[in-house]
Structure 1
Amino acid sequence: MDPTSIAPVRAVLDGLSQLVVGLADLIHPLAGASATGVAVILLTLVVRAVLVPVGVAQVRAEIQRLRIAPALAELRRRHAGKPEQMSRAVQELYAREGASPLAGCLPTLAQAPVLAAVYTLFAHARIGGEANALLAAPFAGLPLGSNALAAAGMGVAPLVVSLVVLGLLAVVIEVRRRADLRFQGPPAAADPALPGMAGMTAMTRVLPFVTVVFAGVAPLAAALYLLSSAAWTLLERAALRRLLGRARATGTAPA
């Protein structure tokens, strides 16, 4: 059974398709043949603008975690080898400080349905039994339904477009990683009492770039979404960390 034929899924995809087409028609005089791809970027910005309050909550939770990090590290050292006691102590610490270890996951979870819808819209040749005309729409000469692997067989120009998108995504991810390190401070040395910490630290350096791999095999439309969303996150976090961090330092709440 084609999942895109399920009524709620079909309704979402039809609405998203109409929104993309409407945006593309609106900006066609400026964007020309690449209007549909630009519309995907604009859709991303609209979604992220709606999610700004969630981003604020995420940065506030991040600042809270930094504040309780020393106490958390002490609890982990004290209860090393006693997972039940450590889990209970950590939960009590979070409750006492009014923090949540899951607060930082909200933006990712909130964006996931939109990304899944964009991916589905541009990954299926037929939606609800009808041809998906958006797949043929180009962005800088490369069809939005194509990925980097397909672009490699289309000639130099399409491959360059795909590599530029992936390269920009990698740069944004690395800049964000470095910004996170500066904000959070240098990572603590691996504690001998906590086996596997060195490996986890190495994984945190590599895991963000899995997004680039995903973008390489995903349709170009999904890659554009990922790039636009990552760039927004970089700029949003820089602004919110500056604003909320300054408010915390002065003991005032931002307007």
Structure 2
Amino acid sequence: MSVLMSAFATLVGGLADLLQPLFHAGSAAAAIILFTACVRLAVHPLSRAAARGQKARTKLAPQIAELRKKHGKDPERMQKALMELHAKENVSPLAGCLPSLAQIPAFFLMYHLFSSREIGGEPNELLGHSLFAAPLGHRWADALTGDGVFTGAGLVYVALFAIVAAVATFSFRMTKRQMAAAPTPAAPEGPDGRPLPGMGAMAKVMPLMSFGTLLTVAVVPLAAGLYMVTSTTWAAVERYFLYREMWAAGAAPKASGAARGAGGAEAA
């Protein structure tokens, strides 16, 4: 682990040195943003695959409903039929989890890097860098006990919280639109076609999970929080472009249904 952390510290430090002529004292913060963008760019193929999988699962919903009617009382046959259907259509039920899972190692590396006073037996020089008045190794609690909420480092966190809140609101609306556009059951199902316990409530809470980033940014070192803010902003924009066609397709039937309803009302 120490070797990995030393290599990661060298990478971030090298990026900071490279960006120093442009960003001066904020070069390390800029390096974190650049590193996060590179990670998101590397994970982008997984995000595209997840979007294709979600669209394919949406199209398979009628077939899955037929399988449920046919094998609903036989979980083993239902599981086998679903696996065959997914294999036939080249759809992975777990594809949507991969982009999020791929982010975990990078986030924890950033967290540990700016939580450690020493790296490889040497003082961690990255802790001397800051974003404006806020040291990258400090947390929101440090800003509150120091300058206060609306001065110095506190203002940096106010700005980050405002960005996170805006992105979370945008993500919340996108999640609601995605759930409305996908003709899937209210409770997600397991491989046997039966609803998973507790997942109905989870589906209702899921749109609110984007606001959890606010809590994360408040308790982790500022460098890790900056990683989270950059990553979630990228993810929200990426998701908009990847799923906009599915939302438009989901909105079209509703619009035509509303038009038919209005026409029937006028005829009546």
Establish whether TM, by shorter chain, passes 0.5: yes
Distance 1:166 1:18, change over 3 A: same
* C-alpha distance 23-72 of structure 1, shift in aligned 2 (>3 A): same
| Partner of residue 101, structure 1 | 93
Aligned-residue offset at 1:51: 2.2
| Identical positions, percent | 36
Paired amino acid for 2:166? V
CA distance in 2, matches of 1:79, 1:135: 59
Q: Closer, same or farther in 2 for the Cα pair 1:201/1:50, shift >3 Å?
A: closer
Pick closer, same or farther for the CA change 1:226–1:137 going to 2, 3 Å: same
Report the TM-score, using the length of structure 2 for normalisation.
Answer: 0.76
Given that 1:166 and 1:223 are in contact with CA atoms closer than 8 Å, whether structure 2 keeps it comes out as: no
CA contact (8 A) 2:137 2:221 kept: yes
Picking from 11, 16, 19, the partner of 1:24 is 16
Whole-Å separation in 2 of the counterparts to 1:74 and 1:91? 14
Q: Could you say which residue in structure 1 is the equivalent of 2:259?
A: none
How many correspondences in the alignment? 237
Where does 1:118-137 land on structure 2 (aligned, <5 Å)?
118-137=110-129
2:167 is equivalent to residue 165 of structure 1: no
How far off is 1:171 after superposition? Answer: 2.1
Pair 1:57-2:59 in alignment: no
Larger radius of gyration: 2
Please report the TM-score for the alignment, with normalisation by the length of structure 1.
Answer: 0.79
1:1-255 correspondence to structure 2 within 5 Å: 9-72=1-64, 75=67, 84=76, 86-156=78-148, 157=151, 158-185=153-180, 190=186, 196=198, 198-242=200-244
Q: Structure 1 stretches of 5 or more lacking a match?
A: 1-8, 247-255
Q: How far, CA to CA, are the matches of 2:244 and 2:205 in structure 1? A: 27
Q: What amino acid is the match of 1:134?
A: L
Q: Which whole-Å CA distance do the structure 2 matches of 1:245 and 1:223 have between them?
A: 31
CA–CA separation in structure 1 for the residues paired with 2:74 and 2:131: 55
Q: CA deviation at 1:164?
A: 2.0
Q: 1:169 to 1:70 in 2, by over 3 A?
A: farther
Amino acid at match of 1:33: A
> In structure 2, how many angstroms separate the alpha carbons of the residues matched to 1:175 and 1:154?
32
Cα shift readout 1:23-75 (whole Å, capped 9, x = no counterpart): 22222233221111111001111121222222221211121122123444565
Is residue 6–residue 120 contact of structure 2 (8 Å, CA) maintained in 1? no
Task: Give yes or no for contact 2:28–2:129 (8 Å, CA) kept in 1.
Answer: yes
Higher mean displacement: 77-86 or 154-163: 77-86
Across the aligned residues of Structure 1 and Structure 2, the Cα RMSD in angstroms comes to 2.9
Alignment CA distance shift 1:226-1:41 (3 Å): same
Q: Is the 8 A contact 2:181 2:247 kept in 1?
A: no
Distance in structure 2 (CA, Å) of the matches to 1:171 and 1:82: 46
| Inter-partner Cα distance in structure 2 for 1:31 and 1:223 | 19
Partner Cα distance (1:76, 1:196) in 2: 20
CA displacement, residues 62-105 of structure 1 (integer Å, 9 cap, x when unaligned): 21122123444565577668655544443333223221111112
Cα distance in 1 for residues equivalent to 2:85 and 2:33: 41
* Residue type of the alignment partner of 2:32: V
Q: CA offsets, 1:193-227, max 9 Å, x none? A: 95745422332133333332122111111111111
Paired amino acid for 1:240: L
* Larger displacement relative to structure 2 (54-63 or 233-242): 233-242
